[in-house]
Structure 1
Amino acid sequence: MSGSGDIALIAGQGVLPGLIARAAPGLLVCEMEGTPSEIGTPETLRFRVERLVPFLDTLADRGIKQVVFAGALQRPRVDMELIDPRSAQLVPRLAMAMQGGDDATLRAVIEIFEDWDFQVVGAHEIAPDLVCAPGVICGAPSDRDRADMARAAAIVADLGRADIGQGAVVAGGLCLAVETLPGTDAMLDFVHLHKGLRDDLKAASGVFYKAPKPGQDRRADLPVIGVRTVQKAAAAGLSGIAFEAGGVMLLERDAVIAAAQDAGLFLWACAP
């Protein structure tokens, strides 16, 4: 691993970029215009996708050796009039990748950075405490919960192969919702609004399971679980949250565990 001064953080939205910045003080924070992070400073290097090549050249000139992507990045609206000639040569490559879905787009972006001799590393490599070893972290999943987890894991694997999403909710063996483009919060809100789909309304039931997509490049878009995820799962009346050990990051782990314990939810890092 390079020294922090050799690392550039491509910071998106959410709390993850701040956690990475604290884990590696002195790294160079970079933001894409239109997607500001929560850690921007006067020293933050801002760039436009239309001028991607000059941005890459700037990173090289500053002695950057490694690049880490962290946080949600919205697909930018490209202003064709702002594209410089060298960046224009990358447009067909990126456009083709975007037609293949999020995974293909991320792979193409990583390959471009690698073409400039940057080593792209995962956020969990900079801050390894964000991922968990296998085991139940808090609470106690029942046999029914374990069966629902297994069913949800199979569904998530199929979703991932189709590049659709990284999560699903299963209760009593029935799939109540899957994660699609609107994201995890929208999925859990849907389950909350449709509690009547479950047989037993008097007891919490159902498991939310989250995992990376099969074959996903884990250096970008690794799934995350935060306090808001726990709150949404509790509001949806679920028994707990299960996720792939080593493949999902817990943001602000102590706060997430405390929130789960307060809500009576289990947290379970499942062996892949």
Structure 2
Amino acid sequence: MEPRFPGEPLGLIAGGGRLPRIVAEAARARGFTPIVVRIADAIDDDWDGFAGAYYSWGRVGDAVRFMKASGVSRVVACGTVSKRPDFRSIVPSFRTLVMLPTAFRVVRGGDDRLLRNVATFLKAEGLEPLAVQDVAPRLLAPQGPIAGRQPDAAEERALSLALRVAQTLGSLDVGQAVVASQERVIALEAAEGTRDMLHRVADLKTRGRIGRGERLVLVKAVKPQQDERFDLPSIGVSTIREAESAGIGAIGVTAGKSLIIDYEALVRAADEASVAVVGLAAGDGGQASKARQHGAVAGEGAP
């Protein structure tokens, strides 16, 4: 996607983490002028060199007005939001107060419904929601080996099981991530997020609830009904480190529908941890070896 005119303002609703900065830099390289509205976990992030400001949930209306006044007509939303907005417990600005009935509707339901509601809300405000991959397509995970070593036979079986379960979990709008062994499902992600789920797995391992011979894997899969403009599954260096701490030897993500953050750093971390990272085609049974037979190579199509 290219700017409609040189320097076109592009709105970026930025949560926490590295992803929003990567997207902003990619947008700037394409000729956009990023207008960064920081929210939630981004309160203390350094955005020196980019136009924008931090807005609390009580000033959501002011953030929308700021973007529109800056000439923004298209918006990308990404980054970590660890807590949902609770509009009943905040003192809103006048602009947000006017929008409260809509805001209450937006935050109802599971994550997928919330994200669809956000898209509807943005459109109603005259802002076109875009996907991260529209601006930074090189972040998309390729199919086949991505980083680290190759998964062994037990991990292949575990990836197959975890992928099937993750797709079922996603269809219920519960979560995106599953930890499994070649024998059973170990943990499912719900409202706590992937990081806390991996902490649970590490605790289970410490308490001897996971057998020594169980080869653990993590799969993060896009939900079947997911609006792919928002919240695609993503992994980065922190995912590798947390997986290693939980005793996980392989990580699978949905090929073409997941994001690889800081690819070069992730490759180094996967090599150091001896963790296999693979891109899985939906419905491929988790067999990364199939992709190898078709010539996929680590880094092909990667950022």
TM-score normalised to structure 1 length: 0.89
User: Offset at 1:166?
Assistant: 0.6
Unpaired runs of at least 5, structure 1: none
| Cα contact 2:139–2:259 (8 A) shared by 1 | yes
Q: 1:161 to 1:92 in 2, by over 3 A?
A: farther
Q: 2:195 corresponds to which residue?
A: 185
Q: 2:117 corresponds to which residue?
A: 108
Q: Give the whole-Å Cα distance in 2 for the aligned partners of 1:233 and 1:80.
A: 36
Q: 1:120 corresponds to which residue?
A: 129
Q: Which of 39, 48, 70 is residue 46 of structure 2 equivalent to?
A: 39
Percent of counterpart pairs with the same letter? Answer: 28
| Cα contact 2:141–2:253 (8 A) shared by 1 | no
Alpha-carbon deviations, 1:25-82, whole Å to 9, x = none?
2311111367416233484233344444443233222211210011112323435653
Q: 1:262 corresponds to which residue?
A: 272
Residue 210 (structure 2) pairs with residue 198 (structure 1): yes
Alpha-carbon deviations, 1:66-102, whole Å to 9, x = none?
1001111232343565342x64454333323433122
Equivalent position amino acid for 1:110 in 2: A
Q: 1:185 to 1:46 in 2, by over 3 A?
A: closer
Instruction: Output the aligned Cα RMSD.
Output: 2.2
Q: 1:157 corresponds to which residue?
A: 167
Q: 1:75 corresponds to which residue?
A: 84
| Cα contact 2:236–2:266 (8 A) shared by 1 | yes
Residue 34 (structure 2) pairs with residue 27 (structure 1): yes
Alpha-carbon deviations, 1:134-191, whole Å to 9, x = none?
1112311122222211111111112212221110011123111111222111111111
Q: Which of 225, 231, 247 is residue 221 of structure 1 equivalent to?
A: 231
User: Offset at 1:247?
Assistant: 1.6
Matches within 5 A, 1:52-71: 52-71=60-79
Q: Give the whole-Å Cα distance in 1 for the aligned partners of 2:80 and 2:244.
A: 24
| Cα contact 2:16–2:41 (8 A) shared by 1 | no
Equivalent position amino acid for 1:22 in 2: E
| Cα contact 1:171–1:198 (8 A) shared by 2 | no
Q: Give the whole-Å Cα distance in 2 for the aligned partners of 1:200 and 1:154.
A: 24
Q: 1:50 to 1:190 in 2, by over 3 A?
A: closer
Q: 1:12 corresponds to which residue?
A: 15
Unpaired runs of at least 5, structure 2: 283-303
Q: Alignment partner of 2:107: what SS?
A: helix
Q: 1:54 to 1:239 in 2, by over 3 A?
A: closer
